[in-house]
Structure 1
Amino acid sequence: MKPTQLVLDSGSLPNDHLDARLIRRYEADGGDIDDLIYLSLGETWTSVAPGLAATLADRLPAHTHGYTLSPYGLPALRDALQAYITRTHHLPEPDAGNFDVAVSQSGTRAAMSDFGHLLLGGPEPTVLVPSPGWDYAGVFAPLGFRLLPYGLSPATEWQPEPAEVESLLNRVRGEALLVLNPQHNPTGVEWSSDKVRSLVGTAVAHGAAILLDDAYYALHAPGKSPTNVLRILVEETAQESVQWLAVRTLGKQFHCNGWGIGALTARPPTLAQVARVTQQRSYGCALPLQAAMATWLQSDAADSFVDGLRRSYAAARLHVARRLHRDLGFPPDAVPAGTCSAYLRFRVPPRHVRDASEEPYRRLCLAVGVLLGAGSMTDSPALLPSRGVHPEAYVRLFLGQPLPVLDEALDRLARADLGW
Structure 2
Amino acid sequence: MEQPQHILGTGSLPAAPPDADLIRRYTDNGWSTSSLVYLSIGENWQGPPPGLVRALHKAVPSYAHGYTLSPYGLPLLRQVLQDYIVRSHRLRTLSCGETGVAVSQAGTRAAMHDFARLLRRRPRPPDTVLVPAPGWDYSGVAAPLGYHVVPYLLRGDGQPDPEVLRAQLMRHPRALLVINPQHNPTGVEWDTSVVRQTLQAAVATEAAVLLDDAYYAVVHPGHTPTNALALLAAETRDTDMPWLAVRTLGKQFNCNGWGIGALTARPSLLAELAEIVQERTFGTGMPLQAAMAAWLTDPASDAYVTDLQHLCAENRRHVTARLHTDLGYPAEGVQSGTCTSYLRYRVPPSWAAGGSTRPYRQRAADAGVVVGEGTMIPTPGGVGTWVRLHLVQHLQTLDLAIDRLGKAGLAWSGTVGG
- What TM-score, normalized to structure 2? 0.95
The AA in structure 2 aligned to 1:126 is T
- Structure 2 partner of 1:166: 166
Question: Which amino acid is 1:153 matched to?
Answer: R
In structure 1, stretches of 5+ residues that fail to align are 386-391
Gaps of 5+ in 2: 413-418
* Aligned position for 1:94: 94
Deviation at residue 344 of structure 1 after TM alignment:
0.5
Q: Trace 1:146-225 onto structure 2 (pairs within 5 A).
A: 146-154=148-156, 157-172=157-172, 175-225=174-224
CA distance in 1, matches of 2:350, 2:72: 51
CA contact (8 A) 1:15 1:21 kept: no
Provide the C-alpha distance between the structure 1 equivalents of 2:222 and 2:59, rounded to a whole number of angstroms.
37
1:59 CA displacement: 5.3
Paired amino acid for 1:265: T
What is the distance in 2 between the residues matched to 1:11 and 1:336? 35
Aligned twin of 2:35: 35
What is the total number of aligned residue pairs between the two structures? 410
Contact 1:183 1:341 in 2 (8 A): yes
The one-letter amino acid paired with 2:39 is L
- For residues 369 and 83 of structure 2, the distance between their equivalents in structure 1, rounded to whole angstroms, comes to 41
Q: Point out the more displaced range, 92-101 or 131-140.
A: 92-101
Q: Tell me if 1:53 matches 2:53.
A: yes
**Matched-pair contact (CA < 8 Å) for 2:130–2:151:** yes
Check the 8 A contact 2:25/2:365 in 1, yes or no: no
The alpha carbon displacement at 1:30 in A equals: 3.1
**2:284 equivalent to 1:290:** no
Question: Structure 1 CA distance, aligned partners of 2:24 and 2:62?
Answer: 42
Task: Please name the residue that 2:309 is paired with.
Answer: 310
Partner of 1:138: 140
The answer as to 2:111 corresponding to 1:119 is no
1:242 & 1:279 partners in 2: Cα distance?
24
Q: For 1:327 and 1:148, how far apart are their aligned partners in 2? A: 38
Q: Which residue of 2 aligns with 1:411?
A: 403
1:241-285 deviation digits (Å, cap 9, x = unpaired): 111000000000000000000000001011111111111111100
Partner of 2:415: none
**Equivalent position amino acid for 2:56 in 1:** L
1:80-132 per-residue CA deviation (whole Å, 9 max, x = no partner) reads 00000000000121122221100000000000000001211447611000000
Distance 1:235 1:360 in 2: 47
Q: What is the CA-CA distance between 1:371 and the residue it aligns to? A: 0.1
Q: Is the 8 A contact 2:351 2:360 kept in 1?
A: yes
Tell me the distance in 2 between the aligned counterparts of 1:63 and 1:227: 38
2:130 matched residue in structure 1: 128
- Opposite residue 220 of structure 1, the aligned amino acid is V
Q: Once structures 1 and 2 are overlaid, which stretch shifts more, 117-126 or 67-76?
A: 117-126
- Amino acid of the residue matched to residue 132 of structure 1? P
Structure 1 distance, partners of 2:71, 2:126, is 30
Partner Cα distance (2:262, 2:87) in 1: 13
| 2:250–2:256 contact (8 Å) kept in structure 1 | yes
1:121-177 deviation digits (Å, cap 9, x = unpaired)? 4476110000000111110000000000001132xx11101122122122226x410
Q: Secondary structure at the match of 1:401?
A: coil
Aligned partner of 1:322 in structure 2 is 321
Q: Please give the alpha-carbon distance, in whole angstroms, between the structure 2 residues aligned to 1:52 and 1:203.
A: 39
Q: Match of 1:389? A: none
- CA deviation vs aligned residue, 1:331-362 (integer Å, no higher than 9, x gap): 11111231000000011111100221212111
Instruction: Specify the code of the residue in structure 2 equivalent to 1:146.
Output: H
AA paired with 2:275?
Answer: R
Distance 1:274 1:375 in 2: 32
Letter of the 2:127 counterpart: P
CA distance in 2, matches of 1:70, 1:104: 13
How far is the alpha carbon of 1:185 from its aligned partner? 1.9
Q: Using the alignment, how far apart are the partners of 1:123 and 1:247 within structure 2? A: 21
Q: Deviations over 1:211-266 (max 9, x none)?
A: 00000000100121110000001111110111100000000000000000000000
Aligned-partner Cα distance in 2 for 1:78–1:324: 43
The alignment yields a C-alpha RMSD, in angstroms, of: 1.3
2:358, 2:252 → 1: CA distance?
A: 29
Percent same amino acid among aligned pairs?
A: 53
What displacement does 1:322 show? 0.5
Change (3 A) 1:39 1:212: same
Residue 388 of structure 1 corresponds to which residue in structure 2? none
Equivalent positions of 1:346-361 (< 5 A) are 346-361=345-360
The 8 Å contact of residues 132 and 151 in structure 1, kept in 2 or not, is answered as yes
Whichever residue aligns with residue 416 of structure 1, its letter is A
| AA in 1 matched with 2:132 | P
Deviation at 1:38, TM superposition (A): 0.3
Q: CA deviation at 1:27?
A: 2.1
3-state DSSP of counterpart to 1:264: strand
CA separation in 1, counterparts of 2:325 and 2:379? 31
Report the 3-state secondary structure (helix = DSSP H, G, I; strand = E; otherwise coil) of the residue aligned with 1:70: coil
SS in 2 for 1:396: strand
Contact preservation (8 Å) 1:101, 1:263: yes
1:261 aligns with 2:263: no
Is 1:89–1:230's contact at 8 Å kept on the other side of the alignment? yes
Question: Which amino acid in the other structure matches residue 58 of structure 1?
Answer: K
Q: Residue in 2 aligned with 1:74?
A: 74
Three-state SS of the structure 1 residue aligned to 2:159 is coil
2:357–2:385 contact (8 Å) kept in structure 1: yes
Structure 2 residue 393 is matched with structure 1 residue 401: yes
CA-CA distance at 1:5 after TM superposition: 3.3
Q: d(CA) in 2 for partners of 1:124 and 1:27?
A: 46
SS in 1 for 2:60: coil
Q: Partner letter of residue 412 of structure 1?
A: R
CA distance in 1, matches of 2:115, 2:145: 11
| Contact persistence 1:86–1:93 (CA under 8 A) | yes
| Structure 1 segments of 4+ aligned residues over 6 angstroms from their partners | none
